Amino acid sequence: MITEIALTVGVIISLIIGLFFTGVAGIGLLKLDNAMSRLHAPTKAGTVGIGAFLMASVLHSFLLGQGSFHEFLILGFLFITAPISANFMAKVNLHRQNCTPPPAPPRDDMWATLNVPEADRELADPQELA
């Protein structure tokens, strides 16, 4: 009896959380002005909202006595594919020049090399440079 009430409350809370985050994702998708901003809302808030809906489904299946873990496979697939697809969509927007490109990185000749500036050579141990 207590377990059924706790699972029912858990289902209700998960549905409310899912409804809130999915609603935020939908509003963000409609209200944000450019493609890169619109990309952020469904990939972040939508993923959390759908995750909460799937958690409600898991709790409901245990409430009925038919435990199901298939939702965790869906959730894992969603958490893996949502950031990857968002990354590809962002790259397409950058490639098509539909958005402001990020600033160019500063020139750095020492990154991932063994070049040491002259000012730092004086501070370094002579045995390390040999």
How many Å apart are CA 86 and CA 73, to the nearest integer? 20
Whether the CB-CB separation of 74 and 80 falls below 8 Å is answered with no
Q: What is the pLDDT of residue 127?
A: 61
Q: Is the pTM above the cut of 0.95? A: no
* Residue-range domain boundaries for the chain: 2-95
70-104: pLDDT as tens digits: 888 998 898 888 888 888 888 888 788 777 777 87
Q: What is the pLDDT of residue 82?
A: 84
Helix, strand or coil, per DSSP, at residue 105: coil
Q: Which of 22-26, 34-38, 106-110, 125-129 has the lowest mean pLDDT?
A: 125-129
Whether the CB-CB separation of 11 and 56 falls below 8 Å is answered with yes
Between 16 and 95, residue with greater pLDDT: 16
Give residue for tokens 């409600």: 56
> Encoding tokens for residue 106?
């500063």
How many Å apart are CA 96 and CA 104, to the nearest integer? 17
Is pLDDT at 32 greater than 80 in this prediction? yes
